[in-house]
Amino acid sequence: MNIYLVFFAIFCLLAQECHAQKYNFMEENVGNCGGKHSRQADVRGNRKQRKEAEIIIADFKRGSLSCSEAPGTLIPHKSVRIDLQDPSGGFERNGKRWRNLQLQLNGPRRKDYPSTVATVLVQCDRTFPVRFIRRAFVLSMRKCVFVWLSHQ
């Protein structure tokens, strides 16, 4: 056991894993979830829609988004998609640049009702473990919140 700890400490110093970045997940309430004029659809009670969303979340493999990347659909699927919503350059909030990732339902949109199932706002030009971005999508969908993912 002690040999393992010594080996791990040496590896950690050589690989600089001990100085890993810290990440923040901040949840922002969307208000009237799923209702008329709300900012996000509520799929918590719809098992089929949740399952389809979880499949596309598992397909998401990107750990970073450039501030200059053009908006558009990143991952298409028959019933849902992941879009990069904001214009190239992202947007500024609290002195940081952000990109707006949205998991959206495909098909005709009902007037005054959202098609967005999950919203993840990612600090652009930064790299994150893919599992954190996936986790942010799941948190957004399950709690009906916007999730802001940034470096500390």
Contact 74, 84 (CB under 8 A): yes
The tally of domains found in the chain comes to 1
Average pLDDT over residues 10-18: 39
Say what the pTM is: 0.82
Residue 13 lies in a domain: no
Check pLDDT > 90 for residue 1: no
Q: Which domain holds residue 119?
A: 21-151
For 17-28, what is each residue's pLDDT tens digit?
Answer: 334 569 999 999
Residue 7 lies in a domain: no
For 62-96, what is each residue's pLDDT tens digit?
Answer: 988 888 999 999 999 989 999 999 888 889 998 99
Residue 12 lies in a domain: no
Q: What is the signed CA dihedral for 4, 9, 14, 16, rounded to 10 degrees?
A: 130
Check pLDDT > 50 for residue 129: yes
Residue 56 lies in a domain: yes
